Amino acid sequence: MSEIIRRVPEHVGIIMDGNGRWAKARGLPRLAGHRAGTKNLRRIIRAAANAGIKHLTFYAFSTENWSRPEEEVSGLMGLLGEFIETETPELHKEGARLLHIGHLEHLEPQLRQKIENAIQLTKNNTRIDVILAFSYGGRDEIVTAVRKIVAAGIPAEEITQQTLSDSMFTVGIPDPDLIIRTSGELRTSNFLTWQSVYSEWAFPQVFWPDFDEAALDEVLKEFANRDRRFGGLSKK
């Protein structure tokens, strides 16, 4: 990092937007953009770990993305498999713990096994959590949590906000302090709906494949200067 940052977010979420437009601007097919975006993961994971971020969640594939053309969905599944297979050894060596939020049961058995193996291999690492939100949607997560609570037979009068939080895919992971959406689009897109109520948001005007260490540095410096009040009064 170019400067010492006094206040680093513990948990950062990233909506990796702009892969398709990045490819279109270069006269390439959309999948080429997704491939470039996948290659960018290692760079940002390493930069985040070096900055002291402890949890990094990537919005890789939403529940709504299943409606995209079959060819694109198949390509994205292939890229996920490639990433898990080629990058897990390096992530493990660098102390990253790989986690998944969403629905593994929707994936092909071979891909699901690759993810489960990566999670098992890295489970004791503590430098940074790399959380892949794949086949994930915020509203779906809330519905899934409610179903868990109902199935557990918890009386309605005993249900609290903590009950819901403990039933989310992200149980044990702190809520995101900062969420970054690349490409400049100003939408939350069903990402960490429950967890992001007091998150700070950043919308850098750069497509995900071009979001590099310097771009992350700028966002982190800007975050460090924000006054987070969580519904209370300013401490400044």
From first to last of its 236 residues, what are the pLDDT tens digits of the chain?
444 446 899 999 999 999 999 999 999 999 999 999 999 999 999 999 999 999 999 999 999 999 999 999 999 999 999 999 999 999 999 999 999 999 999 899 999 999 999 999 999 999 999 999 999 999 999 999 999 999 999 999 999 999 999 999 999 999 999 999 999 999 999 999 999 999 999 999 999 999 999 999 999 999 999 876 666 556 65
65 labelled catalytic: yes
Class for the domain spanning 11-138+176-224: alpha beta
Distances (CA, A) of 207 to 55, 78, 201, 233: 22, 21, 16, 35
The residue among 135, 174, 137, 166 whose CA lies nearest residue 149 is 166
Spell out where 122-225 has E strands.
128-136, 178-181, 200-202
How much is the pTM? 0.92
Q: Are strands 178-181 and 200-202 parallel, antiparallel or unpaired?
A: parallel
Distances (CA, A) of 89 to 93, 97, 118: 6, 11, 9
Give me the catalytic one of 65, 117, 125, 190. Answer: 65
117 labelled catalytic: no
Give me the catalytic one of 17, 129, 140, 177. Answer: 17
